Amino acid sequence: NAGVTQTPKFQVLKTGQSMTLQCAQDMNHNSMYWYRQDPGMGLRLIYYSASEGTTDKGEVPNGYNVSRLNKREFSLRLESAAPSQTSVYFCASSEAKGINTEAFFGQGTRLTVV
C-alpha cells in the first residue's frame, strides 16, 4: 500500500518563484493536513481539510494556499516563495471519525528557498 505520497521530495526555489506541493492518499480518508517542520519548532499546522470540499487555516497559513481537489488529493501552493518558507513539509491524512483519528504521514518535502 502506498499510503500518503508527496511530491517532490526535494526542491530548491528562488525567492519569488511559485510552486505546488502535491499530496495524495489511497486510504479513503476524510481529513488531510499540511504541516511544516523547522528545527526547534515542532510540527506546525498550515492548513487542513476536514472533508472533501472544505479547508481551514491552521497555525501558520500566511503565504500558502491549498486545494482539496478530491477526496484523495490535497495540494499546497506557495505563490511567491520567501526564504522564511525554507522548511520540511509533511502531508498527512486521517479517517477522523470516532476513535479513528490516527494520522498517516508522507515522507516529506524538503524545500529550500534561496
Partner 1 sequence: SQKIEQNSEALNIQEGKTATLTCNYTNYSPAYLQWYRQDPGRGPVFLLLIRENEKEKRKERLKVTFDTTLKQSLFHITASQPADSATYLCAPTNSGYALNFGKGTSLLVTP
Residues near partner 1 (CB under 8 A): 4, 31, 33, 35, 40-43, 45, 48, 50, 56, 58-59, 90, 92, 94, 96-108
* Strand bridging mode 103-105 / 87-94: antiparallel
C-beta closer to partner 1: residue 77 or 97? 97
C-beta closer to partner 1: residue 19 or 50? 50
Least spacing, CB of residue 60 vs partner 1, in Å: 11
Least spacing, CB of residue 15 vs partner 1, in Å: 25
Contact 67, 77 (CB under 8 A): yes
> How would DSSP label each residue in 50-89?
SSTT--EE-S--TTEEEEE-SSSBEEEEESS--GGG-EEE
C-beta closer to partner 1: residue 17 or 103? 103
Least spacing, CB of residue 20 vs partner 1, in Å: 19
C-beta closer to partner 1: residue 19 or 45? 45
Between the alpha carbon of residue 25 and those of residues 1, 5, 10, 34, the distances in Å are 10, 6, 19, 13
